[in-house]
Amino acid sequence: MAAGPDTGAWERAGLYDPDAANADERRALLVYLTERGATIEQMVDAQKHGSLPGVASDLVIQGKSTLIPVTEAATRSGMAFERVLRVLVASGLPVEPDSMVPENSIDLLSVFEVASKLMGDEAVLAFTRVLGAAAIQIAEAAIALFYSELGPGTGREGEDELTRAKIGEVATLTFTAVPELLTQMVMDQFERASRRAVNVRGWSHVSEADTEVVVLGFVDLVGSTAWAEGLDLRDQSLALARFESAAWSSAILCGGRIVKMIGDEVFFAAPSADAACRIGTDAIRAAADDDVLPLARGAVGLGSATPREGDYFGPLVNLLSRLVKVGAPGQLVATEPTVDALSRDEWIVDPLELDDLRGIDHPVGAAVVSPIPV
């Protein structure tokens, strides 16, 4: 019969008690982690934080990036030290003068130098923050997904420590495929965005350098605060996810995109007035058809806006943020320029008399639009 593992080191470190009720379960976990290269120190630190099974996940990504002093990154990149700190903080790394950073940060710094010579430091720093925000969002979304579906209290987390360790390990291994997939997705979307920009802001167009003519829209859930108070957090989250999914799918299929979610509100961009109204009505209909969600209402507008960091700013956005509150539940309101650009054989247009809109100092023409029944 083969001898069992020498548990002395584990016992001395406080990781294992042979007389504990869960001794066999704990030993199986410690054997598994040790065979995968976990150190005593690593396991002790994890146990202090109540996350010993999580070491299996840590081991999957451990050593993927060699760490070097940030001073070395500055020397090897040839950049001024303070400038290096600015770039790395913009990318999402909480870097201090004595920090260790991934060695591949040098690649980021090199690309930053090339881009900044073309477009200037401040513009490229802003874009770097977009990259950092996207990376943070993806990582946080992955962790949130794991804990909501496989974490403590879900009933799927595993009945013992070893099973929990293996579940976390598989989930982390799955995530390691994301960067490669993301690279392809970003390039696909870059091509799509480039074509859109050529159509909207091509070199032959005469316009202000920082604006473009675009169709934007908001759809927001009516009375969502009171609605949310009557639901547990999971049901609320799932319902909002269905709302976002419906708006997302419609926007993509109509050639547009979701700019962002603002709580219970969807902000989207579209390639035409018709597309914007289709996205708006699809999202409103999805809320009406859902057994849990409250009703929704929306507003769409055509005009000039300033694109920045994937978002839009300017008077048109301010107008729509006010106009979205005007319609009744289930209605989509469109500005006059939007109505003028619609295909009249597809839409019913009912003119709307507006009271003064807060923060808007000029008359606004608008109408309620709805699709002509097929």
In order, the DSSP letters of 147-174 are HHHHSTTSS-S-SSHHHHHHHHHHHHHH
**Average pLDDT of the segment spanning 121-147:** 90
Q: Is 360:336 a contact under the CB 8 Å cutoff?
A: no
pLDDT category, 200, cuts 50, 70, 90? low
Residue 289 lies in a domain: yes
> In total, how many domains does the chain have?
1
Domain CATH code at residue 228: 3.30.70.1230
pLDDT category, 108, cuts 50, 70, 90? very high
Residue 307 lies in a domain: yes
pLDDT higher than 60, residue 208: no
> Using CA atoms, how far apart are residues 255 and 270, in angstroms rounded to an integer?
7
**Domain ranges, residue 253:** 211-371
Higher pLDDT, 4 or 103: 103
Structure tokens at 174: 């799955």
> Using CA atoms, how far apart are residues 121 and 328, in angstroms rounded to an integer?
46
Residue 183 lies in a domain: no
Provide the pLDDT for residue 64.
76
Residue 218 lies in a domain: yes
> Using CA atoms, how far apart are residues 266 and 241, in angstroms rounded to an integer?
11
**Average pLDDT of the segment spanning 83-99:** 93
Residue 135 lies in a domain: no
Q: Is 161:46 a contact under the CB 8 Å cutoff?
A: no
What pLDDT digit, counting tens, does each position of 233-264 carry? Answer: 888 888 998 999 999 999 999 989 999 988 88
Residue 13 lies in a domain: no
- For 21, 80, 135, 157, 327, the CA distances from 320, given in Å and listed in that order, are 62, 44, 30, 44, 12
Angle at 364 between CA 319 and CA 282, to 5 degrees: 60
**Average pLDDT of the segment spanning 108-119:** 94
Q: What is the 3-state secondary structure (H, E, C) of 230-244?
A: CCCHHHHHHHHHHHH
Provide the pLDDT for residue 201.
64
pLDDT higher than 70, residue 193: yes
pLDDT higher than 50, residue 2: no
Looking at residue 329, its amino acid is: P
Residue 129 lies in a domain: no
Range in 106-120, 130-144, 185-199, 282-296 the model is least confident about: 185-199
What pLDDT digit, counting tens, does each position of 300-315 carry? Answer: 999 999 988 889 999 9
DSSP per-residue string spanning 232-292: -HHHHHHHHHHHHHHHHHHHHHTT-EEEEEETTEEEEEESSHHHHHHHHHHHHHHHHH-SS
> Using CA atoms, how far apart are residues 98 and 314, in angstroms rounded to an integer?
41
Looking at residue 116, its amino acid is: S
Angle at 296 between CA 295 and CA 299, to 5 degrees: 160
pLDDT category, 355, cuts 50, 70, 90? confident
Q: By percentage, how much of the chain surpasses pLDDT 70?
A: 96
Neighbours of 205 (CB within 10 A): 11
Residue 162 lies in a domain: no
**Average pLDDT of the segment spanning 74-96:** 94
